Amino acid sequence: MAQHDRYISPFSTRYASDEMQYIFSDDNKFRTWRKLWIALAKAEQKQGLAITDEQIAELEAHKDDINYEDAIAREKLVRHDVMSHVYAYGLQCPKAKGIIHLGATSCYVGDNTDVIIMREALQLVRKKIIGVLANLAKFAEQYKDMPCLAYTHCQPAQLTTVGKRATLWMNELYMDLEEIDHQISQLALRGVKGTTGTQASFMELFNGDSAKVKAVEADVCAQMGFAKVVPVCGQTYSRKVDYNVLSAVAGLGQSAMKMATDIRLLANFKEMEEPFEKNQIGSSAMPYKRNPMRCERICALSRYLMVDVLNPAMTAGTQWFERTLDDSANKRIAMAEGFLAADAILNILLNVSDGLVVYPKVIRARVMAELPFMASENIMMKAVKKGGDRQELHERLREHAVAAAAVVKQEGMPNDMIARVEADPAFGLSREEIEAELSPEAFTGRAPEQVEEYLRDVIAPVLAANAEDIGQKVELNV
């Protein structure tokens, strides 16, 4: 049953997926601790410590059935989470209890698990970015030729195409994907380093044999599926790792917020809308409204994510010597919620990018209202070819443009610049000759080709290499 008498994070109830919530769950955390204890025992046995196959088998038998009640009761007594779980595991594994956590410090399970969880979370984030890119690739291909107004300073500039604008959103997400892939490739286990990173406890266990200590660490690393361990550390891996990882994830917030803001503005122009459910209510007071609430939520969560990256930044800078515990409480909130926010953002992006609604007639009407201004150079050059004076025509076009703009802005009337040019004998052009210069498709430059090239050269190889991540559907709480 829902608990209505205490705070519950909206990430759990409204925003983040079950997949991402599991990655940061107690079950995933403490099962990973047990996997690390098993890996350590196996590696130590291989290097000659008196650890039996029977003890390892006993640990394996109970790696997933965590006795939380025992661990919670023990932690109330000893006030130490790792030793409480060592104790609880030992209750289930009486033959192996003496070799659990042998030679290790708390950060052996804590920090190594954090790295493992970050890798799992990054992989889920990248999977969803791929899904968004696949959706937007279809959209860009479909609308690569459709002219639309482009804006600088949020004022109509030259034309672009609906598909070309989508590639701008895609390219920022692609940059995020590259950075996330870089972080995944750079992740290294903390390894088997001991209390202050010197491996002194393991040197004691193996009678000063450095080769065996290094072999244990390499073995654990391989068992946990990593290619490398950090080369040096204190008690913890450098907290700059958390900053680097969350910075890459927060970059997604920047890209998502920019895309969502564009869609919100386009919705105001009535050119494009996010999906709208059949029975969805846009406003409690205004039944006709279709508010861009999905994109608004993307922007809200993106702000949270971008600000959250300050937490690991300050944590990294305030660590004393080999470690200080003021990282822990902040870290366990900031890292988890940063990933939960990114996951929530991507869930909405998957939904929005799969159902964007385009209104071609509105887009065309808005283009044609501005095109006479944009076509002025072409009109001028046609008049010059018929014997007109370029300098004179340029000035007359400027005057006509100013007057036509005043009619639009001050009188609320349609753009009459074409009629003004037609009536001006200095140009010597008929309406047919002028309108021949008003084909929007002639003003989009290489935009359609750019879309084709970008999809073919940049996005297609990514989608081909990650085909299993395409076609994801999400159910949103809206």
Determine the pLDDT at residue 478. 60
**What domains are defined for the chain?**
20-99 (1.10.275.10), 106-276+289-359 (1.20.200.10), 376-437 (1.10.40.30)
If one counts every other C-beta atom within 10 angstroms of the C-beta of residue 50, the result is 9
- Between helix 328-353 and helix 106-142 the angle, nearest 10°, is 20
Closest by Cα among 317, 336, 342, 337 to 327: 317
Tokens of 121: 């979370």
Determine the pLDDT at residue 286. 46
Amino acid letter, 360: P
Mean pLDDT on 103-119: 97
Q: Which of 146-155, 242-251, 468-477 has the lowest mean pLDDT?
A: 468-477
> Any idea of the CA torsion for 188, 194, 198, 202, to the nearest 10 degrees?
-110
The set of catalytic residues is 153, 283
Residue 322 and residue 370: Cα distance in Å, rounded?
A: 64
Q: Tell me: the pLDDT tens digits for 404-452?
A: 889 888 998 888 888 888 888 888 888 888 778 888 999 999 999 999 9
Q: Tell me: the pLDDT tens digits for 189-238?
A: 999 999 999 999 999 999 999 999 999 999 999 999 999 999 999 999 99
Q: Tell me: the pLDDT tens digits for 323-368?
A: 999 999 999 999 999 999 999 999 999 999 999 999 999 999 999 8
Tokens of 105: 């410090």
Q: Is 323:235 a contact under the CB 8 Å cutoff?
A: yes
Determine the pLDDT at residue 72. 96
Closest by Cα among 213, 222, 219 to 193: 213
Residue 68 and residue 302: Cα distance in Å, rounded?
A: 35
